[in-house]
C-alpha cells in the first residue's frame, strides 16, 4: 500500500529500507524520499518503519541509541 503518494513510496519500500540497514527516520526520508513532499505521511511512515524494526528485532537497539 502507498504510504507517501507524493513520492510513490509503499510500505514495502519502507520495509526494504529497514532490511537494508536504515535505522532512523532521517535515513528513511533520505533513502526513500518519503515525507519530503507535503509531509502528511510522516506519522504513518513512522508507524510502518517502527513496525518493520520490531519485526526484524532491531527496535530496542534503535531506542537505546537514540
Q: What is the CATH number of the domain that holds 11?
A: 1.10.10.1100
List the pLDDT tens digit at each of the 66 positions of the chain: 999 999 999 999 999 999 999 999 999 999 999 999 999 999 999 999 999 999 988 655 555 444
Query: Which sign, positive or negative, has the C-alpha torsion 17, 53, 27, 25?
Result: positive
Structural domain range at position 61: 2-65
- Residue 15 and residue 29 in contact, taking contact as beta carbons nearer than 8 Å: no
CA distance 57 to 9: 23
- Domains identified in the chain, total number: 1
CA distance 23 to 39: 19
Please tell me the pTM assigned to this model: 0.84
Amino acid at each position: 500500500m502507498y504510504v507517501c503518494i507524493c513520492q510513490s513510496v509503499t510500505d514495502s519500500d519502507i520495509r526494504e529500507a529497514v532490511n537494508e540497514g536504515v535505522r532512523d527516520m532521517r535515513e528513511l526520508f533520505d533513502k526513500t524520499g518519503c515525507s519530503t513532499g507535503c509531509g502528511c505521511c510522516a506519522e504513518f511512515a513512522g508507524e510502518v518503519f517502527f513496525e518493520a524494526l520490531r519485526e526484524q528485532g532491531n527496535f530496542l537497539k534503535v531506542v537505546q541509541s537514540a
